[in-house]
Amino acid sequence: QTELGQYGSLADLTGALDSGAIENVIFLTPSNPVFDADGFAEVLGKAKASVHWGLRTDATAWACDWHVPAAHYLESWGDARTQTGVISLIQPMILPLYGGLSELDLLHLLGGGDLPQGEFFPAMGEVKTTLAELTGKADDDSWRNALTNGFVEGTSYKAGELNAVLPEIKLASEPSPNALEVVFATDASILDGRFIDNAWLQESPDPVTKLTWDNAAQISPVTAKELGVYERVIALEPKTPLMRIGTEVKVSKRYETGEGEGNHSPMIDLTVNGREIRVPVLIAYGHADNAITLPVGYGQAADDGRGGAVVSDDSKPVVGYVGINTGFNAYELRTTQTPYFATGGVVKTTEEKYPVALTQEHNSMYGRALAREVSTNTLEIKGDFATQMKRVKKQGMDSHAPDNISLYKPEGSETWSKTELAKKTHLADEIHQWGMAIDLNTCTGCNACLVACQAENNIPVVGKTQVAMGREMHWIRMDRYFASQEHPVEHGHVNHSKENPEWVTQNPESIPQPVACVQCEMAPCETVCPVNATVHTEEGLNSMAYNRCIGTRYCANNCPYKARRFNFFDYNKRNPLIKGNLYKGPFGEKQVGQTPSKQRNPNVTVRMRGVMEKCTYCVQRLESAKIKQKQQQKVNKYAVGKKSHEVAVDRIKDLRVKSNTVKTACQDACPTDAVSFGNLLDNTSKVVRAKGNVLDSVKIIQGADYKEIQGSDRNYDLLQYVNTRPRTSYLARVKNPNEKMPDAKFLGQATINIH
């Protein structure tokens, strides 16, 4: 283990290579100093031997004498420590597909060890030895416990003494409009540039700006005004009372520069550390004033003259199809003295504009209580916390819309019934009825669910041009809303003659909300499909029959949640990342080779051009769980020694999938456990604990075992007044503001005053 103080800096390495003190150098991924450190390529040429180990041949790999293909971390043994010091173990899921070496394999080999062969993994031995040295426990039980848990308890660092380091902390000079602070931040998608060739991440929108396939300078509205770019980027939406009932449309901003392919952002010349680059600029609400955030890692290669490596020479491609012409190289502004932030930045406006691909071009809820929240503080209009919680279901339009009267029987159709129980409950399947609840209190808008869904369900990437046209294929749409109250509340009413301080309206709350198909029980899409390509299953799913779909897109028009996606091109067959390739049809280049086919989930149909698709609640996982449950029950029943015709099977108890054993891909990937999914007929499932007994038929099915569950007061249906009866519901966000802070009375009110 190397202590932090024993590491050298990049400047030390550069000096040692330049002076000849170091003759041989090995680069371990994800280091790419030839790209992110100016002038490093020249000193690297002075080394006698240089070796690069990595997943891809980046700029540093081509500058070295040797490149060793790396094994992916899912193919490798390894260990790591968290920021708090907890020891974690890395275990391989599969053997290396292409014979790559892990980091430990390479170091073991250089130390005189052997290469991994068959079931011999020298890296595992190194991990086991290191774990024993760090913990002092070399027994097999400790090793097995560490493998099972994935980490070792009691290995976190001791807390340091804050008072000891406070005197050494020096504040940087205060930034101003003429001397901005420039923050070099890792990108939400590609981190520091190591994932630039990952198309799933490139097409995953930035959580704040919703930008894809690029980076941009992010500034606050106040700074944008001071720099003279605000009016070119932003126009305020109308702020008029709704229906003259005293509720104001929330302050929000709309991009004035066009929509879709016509959406262009102005470019600025940013100078800092004596260096200059030209980048597009976007407004980031809540951003600190007199500061610019610039994500790093982009701009590694281009063929349009914007910078980075020139890819016209295909002999040394530093990126693949995915990474070409994406973003701008922010590393050009960094120095070894200012690796994370620099002061004294100067901005000059230009007349140039740059096309940007945004997945969300609106920031407001337009007076609709979509992503709801309440405050633990007592509010003048809405009362205390308990009162606010009781009114979660009655926010927005739901506060005054009349009760829905449906022409349809809820929860299914009597004509589907196969048993007497089904006829009483109007359910075609009294064993499983699936549902989901998404907790906005824990959702951070990180996009993990979006990417996991894409991987699980063979969802294609479409490229920047198609995203700009609104043709992205993500089944989960990560909405992000900004909201603030422009006028103060006085004596129980909104006072439109006064305005809240500008720092309130210019720093609105941000609320993320993931939206996919909500599996409506009374789905508007089903009634308009002329070929019955979208139908309701016996278990309550709104299902797609891809081979029936003729692409009328009536269903997408009729979906109030806008959760359907249409294949305008054969994205899975033609390479969408080659410029103009999609428009060539059968003459375009195909995606060939084993890698695309190995990436795809064999349990999910690969869709083609002209087909509509959407969230399926990962139906392939549901069917797999049902099959496993039947197999296990068969084993259990036969284990008692009875003959098959003597075995009695309780359809509901024996064939029902066990509680919380089946998970959707988004639920699996969510780092904050914001997604609950399960059987609405099973009282022990997490989703019932969140939603309550939402199906009227539960009491009939459970009989004497029925136990009423109220669920959370925060549970509500999206667009409930439309009467689609969605199976996916949301739990409202609760804000707990510090009453001593000046913004306390403005928090937790994003939707509470909407009528």
pLDDT for res 753: 63
Q: pLDDT band at 491, cuts 50/70/90?
A: low
Of the ranges 11-20, 24-33, 445-454, 710-719, the best mean pLDDT one: 445-454
CA distance to 97, 283, 682, per residue, from 209 (Å): 37, 8, 40
Q: What is the DSSP letter of 19?
A: H
Q: What is the pLDDT of residue 426?
A: 63
Overall fold of domain 516-617: Alpha-Beta Plaits (3.30.70)
As a whole number, mean pLDDT of residues 572-588 equals 80
E-only strand ranges, 376-492: 434-439, 477-483, 489-490
Residue 618: the pLDDT is: 94
Taking the C-alpha atoms of residue 427 and residue 701, their distance in angstroms, rounded to an integer, is 10
Residue among 435, 475, 437 at smallest CA distance from 453: 475
pLDDT at 408: 55
Q: What is the fold of 4-149?
A: Rossmann fold (3.40.50)
Q: Which two tokens stand for residue 470?
A: 């609104």
Q: Which residues of 113-150 are buried (b: 16+ CB within 10 A; e: fewer)?
A: beebeeeebbbbebbbeebeeebeeeeeebbeebeeee
Task: Give me the residues paired with residue 733 across strands.
Answer: 373
Residues 6+ apart with CB under 8 A from 692: 709, 710, 711, 712, 715
- Rounded Cα distance, 156 and 72, in Å: 27
The mean pLDDT value for 2-14 works out to 74
CA distance 58 to 63: 9
690 burial via Cβ count (<10 Å: 0-12, 13-18, 19+): buried
Confidence of residue 410 (pLDDT cuts 50, 70, 90): low
- Say what the pLDDT of residue 30 is: 81
Which amino acid is it at 451?
V
CB 156 within 8 A of CB 262: no
Residue scoring higher pLDDT (351 or 408): 351
Cβ atoms of residues 755 and 242 within 8 Å: yes
pLDDT at 281: 92
CB 466 within 8 A of CB 472: yes
* 149 has pLDDT over 60: yes
Q: Which of 3-17, 254-268, 350-364, 386-400 has the highest mean pLDDT?
A: 350-364
**Looking at residue 251, what is its pLDDT?**
34
CATH 2.40.110.10 is held by the domain 180-358: no
Q: Kindly give the pairing relationship between strand 211-212 and strand 675-679.
A: unpaired
Model confidence at 545, pLDDT cuts 50, 70, 90, reads very high
Selected residue with higher pLDDT from 138 and 238: 138
C-beta of residue 454 within 8 angstroms of C-beta of residue 607? no
C-alpha distances out from residue 709 to 345, 675, 684, 685, 698, Å = 58, 19, 10, 11, 11
pLDDT of amino acid 529: 94
Q: What are the Cα distances from residue 490, in Å, to 501, 502, 683?
A: 15, 18, 45
Question: Which residues on neighbouring strands pair with residue 729, listed in sequence order?
Answer: 437
Q: Count Cβ atoms below 10 Å from residue 102 Cβ, excluding itself.
A: 26
Question: Is the pLDDT score of 118 beyond 70?
Answer: no
pLDDT confidence of 115, banded at 50, 70, 90? confident
- pTM tops 0.75, yes or no: yes
Share of the chain above pLDDT 70, in %: 83
Which pLDDT value is given to residue 131?
87
Burial class for 637, CB neighbours closer than 10 Å (0-12, 13-18, 19+): middle
pLDDT tens digits for range 369-390: 888 888 887 776 677 778 878 8
Residues 6+ away with beta carbon under 8 Å from 741: none
489-490 vs 493-494, strand pairing mode: antiparallel
Res. 244: pLDDT tops 60: no
Q: Where are the domains of the chain?
A: 4-149, 180-358, 516-617, 619-659
Range with the lowest mean pLDDT among 87-91, 218-222, 533-537, 703-707?
A: 703-707
